[in-house]
């Protein structure tokens, strides 16, 4: 099927009747990677949220594994996607903050899977630069919302040009030539929420779901597929269909909580609606959360349609499925908005996986407590494909944990983000799911939290003399982790503050001549 046919949603031949089919012995499984953008971990029913309705993501967890300690090491869009693309940690793929993904890395997921015999397709958001740089995807059907970036904005002029028009917007204008896909009136990082003002079928989330279903219903090749379905929501703007916005109007959505240590973030960071900190009126926070919850459920509805298409085609037991997000969303917790922070709502993500029968010798419906990260997804897919990586990776295959084999797994995961929004937001952290240690690279301030007793991170224990040895232990672990980076990070066994920040590392392709474009932070 051509890209034009998929985007147009042309009529397809009736799919085969639903059937129970097992993956033939020795045949590589299909791989379906579903991701949402800015989806925080606790906004999934399977993670204990009783207010949100996510039955289809919950099903993947129920019939597979739920990773309870999943993180995004550098929790903004592009560095998170660099980890996903390369299977590497931030220092080794080279992105320590938000900027452009490199145009090519030595080992990239879609290219490696194509070499392993897969038909590789991406539908939705990639956040690659240039936009049509495929990184090995043989087919690209994109939703990057380029028309948000006005031609007068020199930082985004290439993305806003007609040549860079994404497939979703091209399809939208084929359906409504005089319409505006952003007519709801919310900006890219707007904290406000409003119902989508256009017909629901024109929403980007629906387009992504439709296109993925069309792909699966029409797939008739002998080779296995690797399909990436990447929703641009629930990232703001929070503009779900009105029916879903109305559904959450009276729902028991958890209120935002702010610790005493977060009082410094109470003042509003700016006059516009793209703030990164500010204590807003409870009604405004509530409306944001209603829109966000409704946006999450809209994504979940599409996940359900995708699973149904797999079942109808008889491919469910031939397909490895993983759902996750690139990072979270603060939604007013600790008086913060958006992401890029070490706090749970920003850095911790949902991650659930279902495997075809025979791929993993393990029970379904398990919960894994081991620390996992986006870097682990590429090794997982390579193992499923029977492929050996051409160079060392920092990630490890999640199939090991799905089989209940925890021996030798990492004890903690490293987190970090260099300057974002403000020089003060510049940090490194370590977390094992119980203890989180945070070091402010701006001024050397430390934070320590016991997540088992304090999952909302309300009480900073760094100044508690009873826990001085615990603080020292985790500080020492960070010293050891950062030692390979040299004296800019660690000198004589002591952590060194870096108030000016570090955008990229020497492993970044082409470093130090990094094509960073000023103004990109407006897109975060």
Distances (CA, A) of 469 to 164, 273, 450: 54, 43, 14
Candidates 183, 116, 118; CA nearest to 148 is 183
Q: Is 335 within 8 Å of 262 (Cβ atoms)?
A: yes
Q: Where are the beta strands (DSSP E) in 326-434?
A: 351-354, 366-368, 372-373, 413-417, 427-431
CA distances from 298 to 175, 286, 382 (A): 21, 18, 31
For residue 235, which of 359, 343, 176, 148 has the smallest C-alpha distance?
A: 148
When computed from its CA atoms, the radius of gyration of the chain, rounded to whole angstroms, is: 22
Do 434 and 450 touch, CB atoms closer than 8 A?
Answer: yes
CB 229 within 8 A of CB 124: yes
149 and 201 in contact (C-beta within 8 Å)? Answer: no
Rounded distance between C-alpha atoms, residue 428 and residue 502, angstroms: 12
Q: How far is CA 521 from CA 44, 183, 233, 510, 524, in A?
A: 28, 23, 18, 21, 5
Residue reference for tokens 């620390």:
371
Indicate the burial class of 238 (C-beta count within 10 angstroms; 0-12, 13-18, 19 or more). buried
Residue 387: Cβ within 10 Å count: 16
Residues catalogued as catalytic: 77, 127
Q: How many other β-carbons are positioned within 10 Å of the β-carbon of residue 243? A: 11
């Amino acid at each position: 099927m051509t890209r034009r046919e998929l985007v147009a949603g042309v009529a397809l031949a009736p799919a085969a009747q639903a059937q129970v089919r097992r993956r033939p012995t020795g045949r590589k499984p299909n791989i379906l990677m579903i991701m949402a953008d800015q989806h925080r971990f606790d906004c999934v029913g399977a993670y204990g949220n009783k207010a949100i309705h996510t039955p289809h993501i919950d099903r993947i967890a129920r019939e597979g594994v739920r990773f309870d300690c999943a993180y995004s090491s550098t929790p903004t869009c592009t560095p998170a996607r660099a980890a996903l693309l390369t299977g590497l940690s931030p220092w080794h793929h080279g992105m320590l903050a938000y900027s452009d993904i490199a145009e090519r890395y030595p080992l990239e997921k879609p290219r490696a899977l194509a070499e392993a015999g897969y038909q590789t397709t991406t539908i939705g958001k990639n956040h690659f630069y240039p936009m049509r740089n495929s990184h090995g995807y043989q087919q690209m059907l994109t939703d990057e919302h380029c028309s948000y970036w006005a031609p007068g904005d020199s930082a985004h002029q290439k993305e806003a040009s007609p040549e860079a028009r994404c497939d979703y917007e091209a399809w939208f204008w084929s359906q409504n030539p005089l319409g505006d896909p952003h007519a709801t009136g919310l900006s890219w990082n707007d904290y406000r929420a409003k119902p989508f003002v256009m017909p629901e079928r024109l929403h980007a989330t629906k387009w992504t779901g439709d296109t993925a279903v069309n792909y699966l219903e029409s797939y008739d090749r002998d080779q296995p597929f690797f399909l990436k379905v990447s929703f641009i929501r629930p990232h703001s703007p929070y503009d779900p269909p009105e029916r879903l916005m109305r559904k959450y109007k009276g729902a028991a959505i958890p209120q935002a909580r702010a610790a005493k240590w977060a009082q410094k973030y109470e003042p509003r960071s700016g006059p516009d609606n793209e703030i990164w900190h500010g204590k807003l009126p409870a009604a405004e926070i509530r409306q944001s959360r209603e829109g966000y919850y409704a946006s999450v459920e809209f994504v979940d509805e599409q996940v359900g349609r995708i699973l149904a298409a797999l079942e109808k085609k008889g491919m469910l037991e031939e397909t490895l499925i993983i759902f996750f997000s690139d990072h979270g969303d603060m939604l007013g917790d600790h008086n913060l908005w958006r992401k890029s922070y070490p706090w749970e709502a920003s850095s911790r993500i949902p991650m659930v996986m279902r495997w075809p029968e025979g791929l993993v010798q393990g029970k379904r419906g398990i919960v894994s407590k081991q620390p996992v990260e986006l870097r682990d997804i590429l090794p997982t897919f390579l193992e499923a494909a029977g492929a050996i990586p051409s160079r060392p990776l920092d990630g490890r295959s999640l199939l090991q944990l799905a089989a209940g084999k925890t021996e030798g797994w990492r004890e903690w995961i490293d987190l970090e983000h260099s300057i974002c929004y403000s020089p003060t937001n510049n940090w490194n952290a370590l977390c094992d799911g119980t203890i989180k240690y945070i070091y402010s690279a701006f001024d050397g301030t430390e934070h320590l939290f016991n997540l088992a007793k304090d999952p909302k991170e309300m009480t900073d224990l760094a100044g508690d003399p009873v826990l001085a040895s615990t603080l020292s232990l985790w500080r020492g672990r960070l010293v050891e982790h950062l030692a390979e980076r040299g004296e800019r990070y660690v000198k004589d066994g002591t952590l060194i503050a870096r108030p000016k920040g570090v955008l990229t590392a020497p492993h970044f392709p082409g470093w130090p001549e990094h094509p960073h474009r000023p103004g990109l932070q407006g897109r975060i």
